[in-house]
Structures are given as C-alpha cells and as structure tokens.
Amino acid sequence: MSSGAQNYRGRVWAELRRQKRAVWGLSMVVTLAVIAVFADFIAGGTPLYLQVDGQSHFPLFREYAARAGIAKLPPELAGADFRELNRRADAAIWPPIPYASTAVDITGEVFAPPSAQHWLGTDALGRDVASGMIHGTRISLTIGLVVVAIQATIGILLGGLAGYYGGWIDIALSRIFELMLGIPTFFLIITVAAIFPPSIYAIMAILGLTGWIGIARFIRGEFLKVRSLDFVTAARAIGASDTRVMFGHILPNAVAPVLVSMAFGVATAILTESALSFLGIGVPQHLVTWGSILAESRASTFAWWLAVFPGAAIFLTVTAYNLLGDGLRDALDPKLDVR
C-alpha cells in the first residue's frame, strides 16, 4: 500500500506543479505563512539589536526567550520604552516597520496618509497600518487553520462513523447532517458572535462547529463505498481493529479530496472572520486585524488607506487559498486528465 500511495501522491504533486495557477496559489500561501511566523521581525516595537551604554542587547530574542520561560528579561529591558532607549543608543537594528501593531500614538500622526514614515498610513489612534497588516496575517491564518482543523476532525469522525457502521448510527448521524444543512449558517454565526463576548477562540469555535457538514457527508459517502471492498475485508480478516481499519486503511483513500475542501475552508474562514470583525462583532477591540482596520474606514471614509490595504490583503489571501484548492481539485480529478 505504501508504494502505491507514494506513487499516487507523487502523481498528484507532479500534476499540481504543472498548473500555473496552483503554483502561484501555493507560493502565496507559503509567503503568507512566512510573514505570519516572522511577523515580529518584519514589524514591531521591539528592536532586534540595541547597544546602550556600551552594552549589547538582543531585546526581541530576549522577549521570545522570556515568553518561553527560558530566560528572564534583564532589569534594564523589562518594561522599557525602546523608543526612549533608542535615543541614547549607540546602535540599534529595528524591524523594517518599527511600530507595534497595537501601539496607540495619539500625540503623533492620527489618520496620517501613507508616507515614508508610515508606509501604509495610520488609523484613528495613530496605530501603524502596515504593522497591523503584518500582524493581522498571523491572526487571520491562525483562525483559518484552526477552524479548518476543527472542521476536518469533526467531519472525518462523524462521517466515518456513519459510513463505516451504517445502520442506526448512519440514520441518526445523517439526520443530524440534514439538520445542520438547514441552518442559515451566516445568520447563526452573526447571532452567536454578537451575543457572546468577542474573542478569537469564540470565533474559531463557532466557525469550526458550523462548517464541517460538507466534509462529513463526503467522508460518509466514501466510507460507504469502500467498506465492502476486498482490502477492507482482508484487513479485518487479519484482525485489524475497527479504528485501525477506519483510519489506517479506509481514510487514506479519501484524504486528498478532504484537502481540497480544507483549502477552500481556510479561504471561507478567513473571509467570515474578516466580515465579523468588519461588522464589529469579531475579534476583541484591542486586537488589530484586517477586518478591524477595514471596519475603521466605515466611520472615516476620507481615510482610503484604511480600506484599500487590508481589503487587498483579505482578497489576496482568499484568492491564494482558492487557487490552491482549485488546482488541487484539478490535479486529483482523473476525468480532467486528458492532456
């Protein structure tokens, strides 16, 4: 089985790389992931290197270490105002965008249009938009990936149970799937998001708990189709447990299409989160996300930079994941393999 799966995987990979759109989507997805991981190095209020009074410091790394619990921040850096320190520093290396995404600065430029100092301008509280965009990437991607992980877990588990065991389990679960299909999802999400106190985790939970029906129905169908095939009977005959047959033998056959719907799922989750933040019922007020920057532009229509940039980021991210999903689907579809 392993060599066959390898071949199949290799074929899909080769097919995927042949498609220009998919390659473009994949490289965008990777770029975004890199931005999200290294957000603090691209934009932030903590310098990478600082030389004060003849002493060298690496504040950002120290901060990471402190957060991980390995080391403590030296007393002269703990709670220090780096901008203040910067004035008497002999040398300093700052991230290219030297502003924290949430740093309020109402003494300086409020609603500053894009300039050399603030590349993408500032918002009503003087927060740097470019920094907010970089750190927003982290929040958006985290939400997208966590939501899809929840959806896939629930979908595979329930769909697998229904398809594998059949009988009354299938009937009961299928009724639940049908019930979920009839729920006006977006309205439910808005209701829950508005009623519960805003939090990233709440958003992840709502989106994760509402979007799994597609995967569940697909997995159920796949398990129904495959469960009576010879290799499943063979696996059972040599004494494999139900769990092993389900996840070790049947599931690998259905994983690829699930990946397709997961790629689309990330796009949808990011879109929905931004919509909620745009409506003001998404992430908490103190966080800066693409949706929340865009929301600010509603009240201040003259500040076009508050609308153009975050919207473009949402658009590009959603496009990237949609392209990836599209390309993956075409790569997996034997019907389209005519070239």
Interaction of residue 315 with another protein, rule CB under 8 A: yes
- 204-226 per-residue burial string, b: 16 or more CB within 10 A, e: under 16: bbbbbbbbbbbbbbbbbebbeeb
Q: Considering the rule CB under 8 A, would residue 318 count as an interface residue with another protein?
A: yes
Q: Which stretch binds another protein (CB under 8 A): 31-39, 120-128, 228-236, 321-329?
A: 321-329
Please report whether residue 186 would count as binding another protein according to CB under 8 A. yes
Other Cβ atoms less than 10 A from the Cβ of 316: the count is 13
Footprint of another protein on residues 7-26 (CB under 8 A)? none
Residues 6 or more apart from 283 whose CB is under 8 A from it?
A: 139, 198, 199, 200, 203, 273, 276, 277, 289, 291, 292
Q: Among residues 178, 229, 241, 337, which is the contact residue for another protein, using CB under 8 A?
A: 178
Q: Comparing C-alpha atoms, which of 154, 187, 188 is closest to residue 173?
A: 154
Which residue lies nearer to another protein by CB, 244 or 298?
Answer: 298
Strands (E), the chain: 49-52, 55-57, 89-93
Question: Nearest distance from residue 283's CB to another protein, in Å?
Answer: 15
Distance CA(227)–CA(218), nearest Å, equals 14
Strand partners, 52: 55, 89
Contacts by 238-247, CB closer than 8 A, 24 or more apart: 242/164, 245/164, 246/160, 246/164, 247/160
Q: Which of 78, 183, 229, 234 binds another protein (CB under 8 A)?
A: 183
Instruction: Write down the residue that tokens 């009988």 correspond to.
Output: 167
One of 182, 237, 239, 334 touching another protein (CB under 8 A): 182
* Least distance from another protein to the Cβ atom of residue 236, Å: 22
Residue closer to another protein by CB (options 61, 315) is 315
Q: Per CB under 8 A, which region of 103-111, 156-164, 182-190, 253-261 contacts another protein? A: 182-190
**CA–CA distance, 112 with 52 (Å, rounded to integer):** 31
Residues 188-207 that bind another protein (CB under 8 A): 188, 190-192, 194-197
Residues in Cβ contact with 331 at an 8 Å cutoff, skipping those fewer than 6 apart: 12, 15, 16, 18, 19, 22
**Binding residues among 275-304 for another protein as defined by CB under 8 A:** 275, 278-279, 281, 294, 297-298, 301-302, 304
CB contact at 8 A, 62 and 74? yes
Closest contact distance (angstroms) between CB of 144 and another protein is: 14
Least Å from the CB of residue 1 to another protein: 28
**Residue 224 touching another protein (CB under 8 A):** yes
Give the residue carrying structure tokens 């603030």: 118
- Per-residue contact string for residues 134-173; x = within reach of another protein by CB under 8 A: ----------------------------------------
Query: Which parts of this chain interact with another protein (CB under 8 A)?
Result: 178-179, 181-188, 190-192, 194-197, 224, 267, 271, 274-275, 278-279, 281, 294, 297-298, 301-302, 304, 307-308, 311, 314-315, 318-319, 322-323, 326, 335, 338
